[in-house]
Amino acid sequence: MGLLDIFTGGSGPEKALKLKPKVTQKYGDPATRQKAIQQLGEMKVPEAVSVLLSRFTLTVDPLTTDADEKEHTFELVKSFGKEVAVPPILEFLRTSEQAASWALRLLGELTSEEETITACVNALQHLSAHYTRNPEKKVVLLHHVASSQDPRIPPAVVPFLEDMSDDVKIAALKALGVFKYEPAREPMLKLLTADETARRVQTSVLSALAEGGFSVEGYQEKVQPLLVEPYALGNDQRIQRRA
């Protein structure tokens, strides 16, 4: 620690970490939180990015102030540039159950689409292997990859067909629909025909099966009574969507 550090409260990384309680202060004078955010924005160290990202994990009143602060934080993080900002953003996306949408938005500004998809795939693989109580992060990630044709996506998405949350299952099915990924056929048919599967999930399965052009071979008798408009079973044992 240098002489200047004695008067400024420590080195850049140490000072950044000390500001975290102020950045995540939900109540009290908002000026204290806003000053800490601005101070962090002036420190060009990865630890400052990590602390700034924690601001996205809470909501303060009034909502207009919350939105303004988050947008300001977003611009500050972006100003750090790819080299400094991206590593802590990736770590935040991997470890935090909250604010995945902000992390993805930042990655979209700082990296290529391929790099962002890589981050999503890595995060989904981590989530499929570790328990998480909140389904929101899974849904956000699955929705983000749903518009991509990257072949790494289907293997990372299939495990979520067995998730406890119906919203996660539906998001996974939408992500899988655009792929003709044969290993997904059996898990989708098992989900469709399981006694405990909710009707809205079944409808999403039918849509994914129709979009993927999959046969229901081996499941015809179980699938037939589950068909609802506009879905029907063709002579080739594939789900068809009527016009």
- Give the separation between CA 187 and CA 47, rounded to whole angstroms: 42
How do the domains of the chain map onto residue ranges? Answer: 11-111, 129-242
CA of residue 222 relative to chain centroid, distance:
34
- pLDDT, tens digit, for every residue of 176-200? 988 889 999 999 999 999 999 999 9
Q: Average the pLDDT over 9-26 and give the result.
A: 87
Q: Which two structure tokens, joined as six digits, stand for 192? A: 């469709």
Tens digits of per-residue pLDDT, 96-123? 999 999 999 999 999 999 999 999 999 9
Amino acid making up residue 91: E
